[in-house]
Structure 1
Amino acid sequence: FGIHALLLVTVTLSPVPAAAQSENDVTGEDVYPPLWDLAPENLLDFPVKDNKIVINAWNYQDRLGVYKSLLSASAKYFDDFGPQNSGNILWGLPLQHGWQFRTGRLADPSGVTSCGYENGEPLCQSARSWWSSMNYYLSIIPFLGAVEAGLFGQLPYEIEITPPEEKKDDFCYSVKDCWSRMPKLMDDWKAFFEYLLSTEHKARSSGSLSSFKLDDALGLMWKAHTSSIAYALPKFQGRLKYLSDPEANFGEDWANAVDFIAATHFSTDLLTTNEFQAFLPQRMLVEGDVLPFISDFTPEQNKVLLSLKALHKVNKLTGGLLLKLWQKAMSTEAGRKIGRELIESLPSS
């Protein structure tokens, strides 16, 4: 059973690779999230009020700025992995968020407000959006973990996150607030950023090359990433009611798949993430969308969505055994390498 399970998983998670991009070709505008150039890059680019840096996490540009500041502050640790910070493994987070924005997933799905709509408030993120709410735990929480770890050094001001207009109790708004509500999750993100900082300190004290290991960094990042999803998933179950059944199912299928991807320590650098994301749906799913026969999706997108659905179904039917088997197979560096290669190169079938 184990071998069959692993085969199912590897085929399931293996889209046809997009056309390979040159490693130096990272200047194309479309490889970055929408409006990337307009987002704040430095924490001091955000407004300061009452001696606090105020970040409106319900504005797409501000949330993007949180990611941009994280990428900028962590760039030096990834110099060896690609030009122009393209090898930074934090790219997966803003690129995923950019895909959510571009495909309308951050707008008010109930349609009651104009939040997130082009003819209303296009940069607004709705607290009713399942995607936006889930992403809060993959943007603001990592960011506050980085602040606490010292990634930004000694900041002259405290950080304050603006609450949404509704559903305020579902989120936390400062390092102290988040730490009191979800200490383990904050710890996981802090540990990732502390690892980055520790490699710099070791290099400085020993005078030798950095002790940074990409596999270790990926392991810590994915641990925190999956912790964020595990924490947020039950919390935002009620938001799924605003979505069509196909979209709600896809959201849960995608969240389930992340656990399998995480186990391989899949590299979420700029180019790899862009290639991988090409197979995600470029619009929200609606009633009447039937996999794998959605006419305005590519055959690969149809196959990938169907595969994610099958993976989720089998994992549920086995009570999570499928994931455990996969994680066991991915418990060595050699196993993870094979897992990543399978994800990247096996044609979908």
Structure 2
Amino acid sequence: FDSGRLADPSSVTSCGYEDGDLLCISVRSWWSCMNYYLAIIPFLGAVEAGLFGQLQYEIEILPPEEQRADFCYSVADCRSRVPKLMDEWKAYFEHQAVSPATFSSFKLDDALHLMWRAHVSSIAYALPKFQDSLKYLSDPEANFGEDWANAVDFIAATHFSTDLQTTNNFQAFLPQRMLTEGDVLPSISDFSPQQNRVLLSLRVLHKANQLTGGLLLKLWQKAMSTEAGRKMGRKLIEDLVSS
């Protein structure tokens, strides 16, 4: 599966393209930069939490040739630069590292709360940092990126499960390619009705949240403050893509 979102959107390099290095992840890609904070920071948080045991060597991520200052590369480096993110990801992975003696007290809802808290914090930190990278994208694609970032706040409040099967099922309703200037919602011809509906829903949700100054999200979070509320919220999300 290749949506092209991790390739160089400026086309200055061949990073991520078939005529270059197809597995290359471009530092110029907004999606790549955002996902660094949703992949590398969690990984280093897991390392700090001791999820991999006592490692013989310190792990250090190789920096990109550009924008080096936008990222951190080791547990110590990230702890000094983004301590809140490291604290939250570490807390999540410490919760995951349950022993057989304490497994009976493990609560999935608590784990999902910690995971989504860290996930939302990572996005909130990275979103303004990589705002300039949106200029490389078409307006529809840039809108989709910001719409998705906004939607994560709403999804997170439901403690939505992110197991492999659920994630695999739901990603089918997201756009399988980069959006272009000619793509107009909800009538993108090579997208399924569900994909068009999901994209339009994300756009409307973002606009509504902006128009209310974030009040819509606050009301949603209040409604999701109980397990019964979160169950209803998850059902609404499932109904959106299945209807």
Tell me if both proteins adopt one fold, taking TM over 0.5 as the criterion.
yes
Root mean square deviation of aligned Cα: 1.3
SS of equivalent residue, structure 1 residue 124 = coil
Q: In percent, how many aligned pairs have the same letter?
A: 79
Match of 1:158 among 53, 58, 67: 58
Give the corresponding residue for 1:132.
Answer: 32
Give the corresponding residue for 1:220.
Answer: 114
Give the corresponding residue for 2:74.
Answer: 174
- 2:210 counterpart of 1:316: yes
Distance in 1, matches of 2:71 and 2:240, equals: 39
Give the corresponding residue for 1:333.
Answer: 227
SS of equivalent residue, structure 2 residue 106 = coil
For residue 187 of structure 1, what is the amino acid of its counterpart? D
For residue 112 of structure 1, what is the amino acid of its counterpart? V
The C-alpha deviation readout for 1:130-186, integer Å capped at 9, x for no partner, is 000000000000000000000001011110100011111100000000000010011
CA deviation after TM superposition for structure 1 residue 293, in Å: 1.0
The C-alpha deviation readout for 1:69-113, integer Å capped at 9, x for no partner, is xxxxxxxxxxxxxxxxxxxxxxxxxxxxxxxxx100000000000
SS of equivalent residue, structure 2 residue 60 = strand
Say whether the 8 Å CA contact 1:107–1:124 is kept in structure 2. Answer: yes
Which one has more relative contact order, counting CA pairs under 8 Å at least 6 apart? Answer: 1
For residue 221 of structure 1, what is the amino acid of its counterpart? M
Distance in 2, matches of 1:295 and 1:113, equals: 30
Distance in 2, matches of 1:310 and 1:341, equals: 19
Give the corresponding residue for 2:185.
Answer: 291
- 2:82 counterpart of 1:188: no
The C-alpha deviation readout for 1:42-91, integer Å capped at 9, x for no partner, is xxxxxxxxxxxxxxxxxxxxxxxxxxxxxxxxxxxxxxxxxxxxxxxxxx
Say whether the 8 Å CA contact 1:304–1:348 is kept in structure 2. Answer: no
Distance in 2, matches of 1:271 and 1:173, equals: 31
CA deviation after TM superposition for structure 1 residue 345, in Å: 2.8
For residue 295 of structure 1, what is the amino acid of its counterpart? S
TM norm structure 1: 0.68
Structure 1 residue runs of 5 or longer lacking an equivalent are: 1-33, 35-101
Structure 2 residue runs of 5 or longer lacking an equivalent are: none
Say whether the 8 Å CA contact 2:198–2:240 is kept in structure 1. Answer: no
Give the corresponding residue for 2:134.
Answer: 240
Distance in 1, matches of 2:25 and 2:104, equals: 40
Q: How many residues align?
A: 243
For residue 279 of structure 1, what is the amino acid of its counterpart? F
Say whether the 8 Å CA contact 1:303–1:348 is kept in structure 2. Answer: no
CA deviation after TM superposition for structure 1 residue 342, in Å: 1.8
CA deviation after TM superposition for structure 1 residue 210, in Å: 2.5
